[in-house]
Amino acid sequence: MIHSLFLINHTGDIFLEKHWKSVISRGVCDYFLEVKEKAVEPENVPPVLQTPHHYLISIYRDKLFFLSVIQTEVPPLFVIEFLHRVADTFQDYFGECSESIIKDNVVTVYELLEEMLDNGFPLATESNILKEMIKPPTILRSVVNTLTGSSNVGDKLPTGQLSNIPWRRAAVKYTNNEAYFDVIEEIDAILDKSGMTVFAEIQGVIEACTRLSGMPDLTLSFMNPRLLDDVSFHPCVRFKRWESERVLSFIPPDGNFTLMTYHVSSQNLVAIPVYVKQNISFFETGSCGRLDITIGPKQTMGKMVEGLMVTVHMPKAVLSVNLTASQGNYTYDLATKVLVWDIGKLNPQKPPNLRGTLSVQSGAPRPEENPALDIKLKIQQLAISGLKVNRLDMYGEKYKPFKGVKYMTKAGKFQVRT
């Protein structure tokens, strides 16, 4: 399966290599680097490349390329999914997944890679098992380690690999037992020029954080599970139970995990929380343009809209902007031509407005397309689909855990065409 892995930064330096079978020269990356040079954006590098003797499958995460070398037929998604899992693990261990942090923890990274794959086939990918074998570095531990000479590698044998529920550590103990669930919904929408909804849907995810002793068996039920159209679960969820009763029954992993993701059925109309009035125009003469954006509340269910942010990818010809914002402030990155307007809380009485002029490179043709606006927003304490958790029950353990459910609505891929 996966033969070798190379980590490449965005400038094209290979800073880590790992081979699970015999060594493959890093020269194989040249094919990839060539394609990468040609592509304008790093995202545009095709994830699968063919070279005379190998296939290269890569992902782009956090400004790093994870490039794997394959020699024989393998489902490409298998590799891609695995590479993302590797990146997730790094993120989980080190808090971020950047070149410098990987270089700083190169030994841990190497140990992780060694455990995650055996002969190119995934071996241990559950973070709970990995953490049992290789402890994540913390400042405290590194201090202790240097003083006592003890190590990051767990000295107990990782029994998690043997269990039927590999996602949970054995013998978990907490003084405070708690289980928190965040229901986060994202609105994906495309609005057209006139503010009409071209396409809108709600995608939700339930993030859980459980710190429960022993082997608790949880049951989470919804008031209105009918809303859920399409779901995908963490492996711990018993699918049969969901099929028959529409409740989530599971023995949770320890710590943070994504319990489920769901899609709200398309019959339900999606409430769009804000309206956007915009006018972006470029004049035929005089090499300048005009921009005017107003955002106001639409269907917010009486909640405050926060974290409002508008991102505009300006045409390449726009040299600079001269705008005034009635609320919040804006930045314009000259190199990437991205205009970001950070509004903050939405004031329903006085809808925030951004207006001013754009100066266009003289001589360049008038930009054909008006740039689309990407909107980010957050609404606390509201699941826009109306999904409600009914109750959470715990079996299998005696103590009473502290339980909590939080709702949040965010803008997902929320785009306004202009």
Partner 1 sequence: MTTMQKLLQLPVNAVNIVKTVQSQVQGQEEDKSPVLTPDGGQQTWYNALQPDELRHLRSGGSGGGFGGGGGGGGGGDQEERAVLEEGGGSFQNQPLRHDDLKEMLDSNKDSLKLEAMKRIVAMVARGKNASDLFPAVVKNVACKNIEVKKLVYVYLVRYAEEQQDLALLSISTFQRGLKDPNQLIRASALRVLSSIRVTIIVPIMMLAIKEAASDMSPYVRKTAAHAIPKLYSLDPEQKDQLIEVIEKLLADKTTLVAGSVVMAFEEVCPERIDLIHKNYRKLCNLLIDVEEWGQVVIINMLTRYARTQFLNPNINESLLEEGGEKTFYGSEEDEDEDDEDKDKKAEVATMAKRKPYVMDPDHRLLLRNTKPLLQSRNAAVVMAVAQLYFHLAPKAEVGVIAKALVRLLRSHSEVQYVVLQNVATMTIKRRGMFEPYLKSFYIRSTDPTQIKVLKLEVLTNLANETNISTILREFQTYIKSMDKDFVAATIQAIGRCATNIGEVRDTCLNGLVQLLSNRDELVVAESVVVIKKLLQMQPEKHSDIIKHMAKLIDNIQVPMARASILWLIGEYCEHVPKISPDVLRKMAKSFTNEEDIVKLQIINLAAKLYLTNSKQTKLLTQYVLNLAKYDQNYDIRDRARFIRQLIVPTEKSGALSKYAKKLFLALKPAPVLESPFKDRDHFQLGSLSHLLNAKAGGYQELPDWPEAAPDPSVRNVEVKESVFTLLERVTTLTSVPEWTKCSSREKRKEKKVEKPFYSDSEGESGPTESADSESDSANGSESVSGSEVSGSGSESEESEEGSESEEEEEEEDEEKDKKKKKKELKKKPVQESESEQSSEEEEEERKHERKSKPRKSDSETESGDEEESESESSQSESDESESEAEVKKKKKAAQSKPPAKPVKTDGKKEKKEMSLLDLDDFEPAPSPQVTPVNSFLSSSLVTDLEGLSLSDSVLSPATIAPSSALKSYELLHRITGEGLSVEYCFSRQPFSPDANMVAVQIQFTNNATSDTKNLHMEDVKLQSGMRVKEFPEIELLPAGETTTAVMGIDFCDSTQAANFQLCTHTRKFFVSIQPPVGELMRPIFLTENEFKKEQGQLMGMNEITERLTLDVKCRNEHTIVQRVTTAANLSRVPCGSDKECRFAGRTVTSSSLVLVTVATKEEGAAQLTVNCEKMVIGTMLVKDILQALTQ
Nearer to partner 1, 351 or 401 (CB): 401
The answer to whether the Cα torsion of 407, 408, 413, 418 is positive or negative is: positive
Nearer to partner 1, 304 or 338 (CB): 338
Q: How far is CA 130 from its chain centroid? A: 21
Do the beta carbons of residue 85 and residue 91 sit within 8 Å?
no
Nearer to partner 1, 317 or 343 (CB): 317
* x/- track of binding to partner 1 for residues 96-125 (CB under 8 A): ----------xx-xxx--x---xx-xxx-x
Residue 129 engages partner 1 in binding (rule: CB under 8 A): no
Nearer to partner 1, 26 or 345 (CB): 26
Please choose, out of 36-44, 273-281, 328-336, 352-360, the segment that lies near partner 1 by the rule CB under 8 A: 36-44
Residue 333, token pair as written in the block: 């990155």
Beta bridge partners of 203: 186, 263
- State the SS3 of 365-400: CCCCCCCCEEEEEEEECCCCCCCCEEEEEEECCCCC
Nearer to partner 1, 321 or 351 (CB): 321
* x/- track of binding to partner 1 for residues 338-367 (CB under 8 A): ---------------------------x-x
Do the beta carbons of residue 171 and residue 373 sit within 8 Å?
no
27, 38, 73, 336: residue in contact with partner 1 (rule CB under 8 A): 73
DSSP per position, 143-206: HHHHHH---SB-SS--GGGGSSSTTS-SS---SS-EEEEEEEEEEEEEE-TTS-EEEEEEEEEE
Residue 225 engages partner 1 in binding (rule: CB under 8 A): yes
Residue 195 engages partner 1 in binding (rule: CB under 8 A): no
Query: Cα(361)–Cα(164) distance, rounded to whole angstroms?
Result: 64
Q: Least separation, in Å, of the C-beta of 39 and partner 1?
A: 9
Q: Least separation, in Å, of the C-beta of 324 and partner 1?
A: 26
Provide the edge-to-edge strand list for the sheet that holds 353-360.
274-282, 288-297, 353-360, 318-325
Residue 267 engages partner 1 in binding (rule: CB under 8 A): no
Query: Cα(227)–Cα(207) distance, rounded to whole angstroms?
Result: 18
Restricting to residues 150-179, which ones interact with partner 1 according to CB under 8 A? 151-155, 157-159, 161-162, 164-166
99, 132, 185, 201: residue in contact with partner 1 (rule CB under 8 A): 201
Residue 9 engages partner 1 in binding (rule: CB under 8 A): no
Nearer to partner 1, 54 or 300 (CB): 54
Size of the site for partner 1 (CB under 8 A): 118
Restricting to residues 271-310, which ones interact with partner 1 according to CB under 8 A? none
Helix, strand, or coil here: 68?
strand
